[in-house]
Structure 1
Amino acid sequence: MKGKQGTKRLAASALVAALGMSGVVSADELRLITWGGYAPDDVVAQFEKETGIDVQITLSNNEDMISKLRATGGAGFDLAQPSQDRIIGIQRQFNIYQPIDYSRIHTDQLQPSMVKATQEATELDGQYFGVPSVWGTSGLIVHRSVADTVKDYTDLCHPAVAGKVSYRLKRPTLMGFAFAMGMDPFAAYNNREEYQSIMAKVEDKLIDCKDNVKTYWTGGDQLLSLLRTGEVTAAMAWDAGGWKLSAENPEIGFVAPASGALGWIDTFAIPRRSENEDAAYQWINFVMQPEIAARITNASGNFTASRAADEFVTADLRDAYRASFDEQAINNIKWYPPVPPGLETMEGQVLDRVQAAN
């Protein structure tokens, strides 16, 4: 027995050395680095049962995913879930992902507008590096008493809601106000002079709007409390927060602004040195089935790019979602593109001046 065990250890060590790895990765294993709620235990268990593939989960965020994959040159994981605007800049610098083979993706399961947005945001040299997965938006949370007045971001400056408005002094507010003022900040990303002109107009508008603002919220719990008590009746915030409030009080709801909600998409991206691409593609197609995707929504509170998945989510979340987003509102979402270097510094200066203005 001792001799056989020693031979096995030597054989395993030789295999590890030959493969140039610190350990043997099974062909029946998927190493997934993802966000909390995106791989619920029951979904993982069903995938493992149906495929025979063992799923190893590492919970993470954008910065941590980038750091881990940079350190290994794109090794250590078979599938990652970075946001759509955090892929191409990193890929240009560090080459940590591989192109997606869209012929292996069941795109008939996915929202076409989200596939298009993700491909546009993750295209490099004619190849795509992301598949849409989970998405969310920022827009308006509005009490029914002012719903006829507040239909777009700039309506937060209307006299009817004076002193009962809240939004963050962050870049989504700049983007939302720009779109509501008839400008397209995303289209100006690569024209610094034009972008500066847009930001100057938004800055003036936000300064003029200061008298309407009850407070600039900094944390989600703070904002939800203000809306619950009625101190604030209209706010710019995330859809999930609006749906949570709607479940508590049907008089409050999330509204997709007339100029378009601002959208983010967390993607599926395959690391360059993935050792089980087949399992990665199987996982993508499995979790984007409507009934499976609905379970991810129920766990995370955010909807997925899966078509018709809303039919299978919990009734209160389904009804709130449908009240916020019809097909036109979905197609009108303004998806965040990658941010060119230097723009966030400019935006920070604008927000500082708005904060300081009397």
Structure 2
Amino acid sequence: MRLKQILVPAVLTLTLPLTAMAEELRLLTWGGYAPEEVVNQFEEETGIEVQVTLSNNEDMISKLRATGGAGFDLVQPSQDRITSAQQEFRIYKPMDLSKVDSALFIDSMLAATRRNTSIGDDVYAVPHVWGTTGLIVHDSVADQVKDFADLCKPELAGKVSYRLRRPILIGMAFSMGEDPFAAYDDEDAYAAMMAKVEEKLIACKPNVKAYWSGGDELINLVASGEVVAAKGWDAGGWKLQAENPQIRFVAPASGALGWIDTFALPRRGENDEAAYKWINFVMQPEVAAKITQSAGNFTAAKGAEEFVDDKLKASFESSFDQQALDNIKWYPPVPAGLETLEGQILDRVKAAN
């Protein structure tokens, strides 16, 4: 009898902390991709607690590189930023596609991401949110701004904004008649092309009111009237258009730059099962539509557009006719080492007088 009295409390002491520990998914993602409504619904349905950390491509790679792929269970890099980072830093683990409900995805987008994130027989990502980078233009200058290079016209001095990251290098190159993606495999040719872009961006500095670093900053600059033409994401343009019909997102004549943000597994993530549950949950059409409403961009979820409000669909159609859609320049994987060259160019542009 005494033995039972001793053993029962001991068992309780050992098991209580274990039962109190909730299962957790640590998600490293972009703003708008894990809205509170969706997180709450997932937590209620699965009992898995979601810890959301907001980030961007450069920060994701930096965080995972510093930890060898630890600290998070699911991350959302763009598809063109995966293979080179994996080859250089080994920060991801292959996806088990048998645990992903492929019927939820737009077939062509799933196939494209699989192709662009494969190394050998291993696939490192599946698609989530997609969108484009182009021009956000006020009607007062719409006849002057048709392509990225037009942001540098003298008559726009002090009224332009763009983010000083690699998309402005790529977009400017296309608008100058070059094809940067075709030069990805020839570093010397790419460096020569980017030298011309660097010269263009340094000459363009008098036009720049500010180099924006976040979407809210850009929206405030355009909404206030301080900036009348900018490089920006389609979602930001559509948000501004909803408030002011004189502002719109325009697909550049040389082609909008198309991106796909993905789901990928960090190499030392601790809860792959929760990660796969999240992927399959958020790709359900009605849930995906909530993410579109939050982020402003459409997802790779099949049928989700049926649950998106008519105003957002109308904004999309006003920016993209079929020709503009066909002209989207989709980012291919970035070759290892290329971003170092680009970073040096961007640093020189920023430092130039």
Corresponding position of 2:337: 341
Given that 2:165 and 2:346 are in contact with CA atoms closer than 8 Å, whether structure 1 keeps it comes out as no
Structure 1 range deviating more: 223-232 or 97-106? 223-232
Aligned to 2:92, the other structure's residue is in SS state: coil
**Deviation for aligned residue 1:171:** 2.6
Match of 1:188 among 164, 183, 189: 183
C-alpha distance in 2 between matches for 1:318 and 1:111: 18
- Give, as a single letter, the amino acid of the residue that structure 2 aligns with 1:297: T
Deviations 1:314-350 (A, max 9, x none): 4443332332245654552432633532543455336
Match of 1:132 among 127, 135, 149: 127
Match of 2:9 among 5, 9, 16: 5
Given that 2:166 and 2:342 are in contact with CA atoms closer than 8 Å, whether structure 1 keeps it comes out as no
C-alpha distance in 2 between matches for 1:226 and 1:298: 22
Matched ranges for 1:108-257 at <5 A: 108-112=103-107, 114-157=109-152, 164-206=159-201, 213=207, 215-219=209-213, 223-257=218-252
1:55 aligned onto 2:49? yes
Structure 1 range deviating more: 243-252 or 334-343? 334-343
C-alpha distance in 1 between matches for 2:308 and 2:6: 55
C-alpha distance in 2 between matches for 1:346 and 1:94: 18
Uncovered stretches (5+) of structure 2, i.e. residues with no partner: none
**Deviation for aligned residue 1:39:** 2.5
Given that 1:260 and 1:334 are in contact with CA atoms closer than 8 Å, whether structure 2 keeps it comes out as no
**Deviation for aligned residue 1:175:** 0.8
C-alpha distance in 2 between matches for 1:181 and 1:67: 32
Aligned length: 345
Aligned to 2:110, the other structure's residue is in SS state: helix
C-alpha distance in 1 between matches for 2:231 and 2:339: 22
- Give, as a single letter, the amino acid of the residue that structure 1 aligns with 2:275: A
Aligned to 2:93, the other structure's residue is in SS state: coil
TM-score, length of structure 1 as denominator length: 0.78
C-alpha distance in 2 between matches for 1:41 and 1:241: 20
Identity of aligned residues (%): 52
C-alpha distance in 2 between matches for 1:225 and 1:279: 37
**Deviation for aligned residue 1:176:** 0.3
- Give, as a single letter, the amino acid of the residue that structure 2 aligns with 1:196: A
1:100 aligned onto 2:95? yes
**Deviation for aligned residue 1:225:** 4.4
Given that 1:141 and 1:242 are in contact with CA atoms closer than 8 Å, whether structure 2 keeps it comes out as yes
Q: Give every structure 1 segment of 4 or more consecutive aligned residues whose post-TM-superposition deviation is greater than 6 Å.
A: 23-26
Match of 1:290 among 258, 262, 285: 285
Aligned to 1:257, the other structure's residue is in SS state: coil
**Deviation for aligned residue 1:130:** 0.7
1:258 aligned onto 2:258? no
Q: Structure 1 residues 249 and 198 mapped into 2: Cα distance closer, same or farther (>3 Å)?
A: same
TM-score, length of structure 2 as denominator length: 0.79
Uncovered stretches (5+) of structure 1, i.e. residues with no partner: 14-22
Given that 2:191 and 2:341 are in contact with CA atoms closer than 8 Å, whether structure 1 keeps it comes out as no
Q: Structure 1 residues 330 and 350 mapped into 2: Cα distance closer, same or farther (>3 Å)?
A: same
Q: Structure 1 residues 76 and 24 mapped into 2: Cα distance closer, same or farther (>3 Å)?
A: farther
C-alpha distance in 1 between matches for 2:322 and 2:276: 28
1:34 aligned onto 2:34? no
